[in-house]
Amino acid sequence: MTEEIIWNEVRKNIAEILPSVDVNGIKSNDRLVDLGANSVDRVEIVTLTLEGLNLTIPPHELAKANNLGDLVEILLKKASL
């Protein structure tokens, strides 16, 4: 799985949950909260992404992500195991 595939999945799910966000402008230091996501939006986006990538990562590991770049890195690391 490439980093690009993961980013595409993340962007797709952000667009699904936050339709007003321009996902093409998203950068790795963006935080979901700054894009307007509330706590439920955030876990919805993450859960959809895990499902889309067929990954399983416990919540306490995902909680280490401080921005979207961190999230993609955690997902990529898990996908590479």
Give min distance, CB of 34 to other proteins, in A: 16
> CB–CB of 15/48 below 8 Å?
no
Q: Which of 45, 11, 12 lies closest to 26 in space, CA to CA? A: 11
- What is each CA distance from 36 to 4, 50, 52, 60, 66, in whole angstroms? 23, 21, 22, 22, 15
81 is an interface residue for other proteins by CB under 8 A: no
43 is an interface residue for other proteins by CB under 8 A: yes
Q: For residue 24, what is the enclosing H or E element?
A: none
19 is an interface residue for other proteins by CB under 8 A: yes
18 is an interface residue for other proteins by CB under 8 A: yes
13-21, 23-31, 62-70, 72-80 -> range binding other proteins (CB under 8 A): 13-21
Measured from the CB atom, the residue of 28 and 78 that comes closer to other proteins is: 78
Chain positions 53 to 72 lying near other proteins, rule: CB under 8 A, are: 56
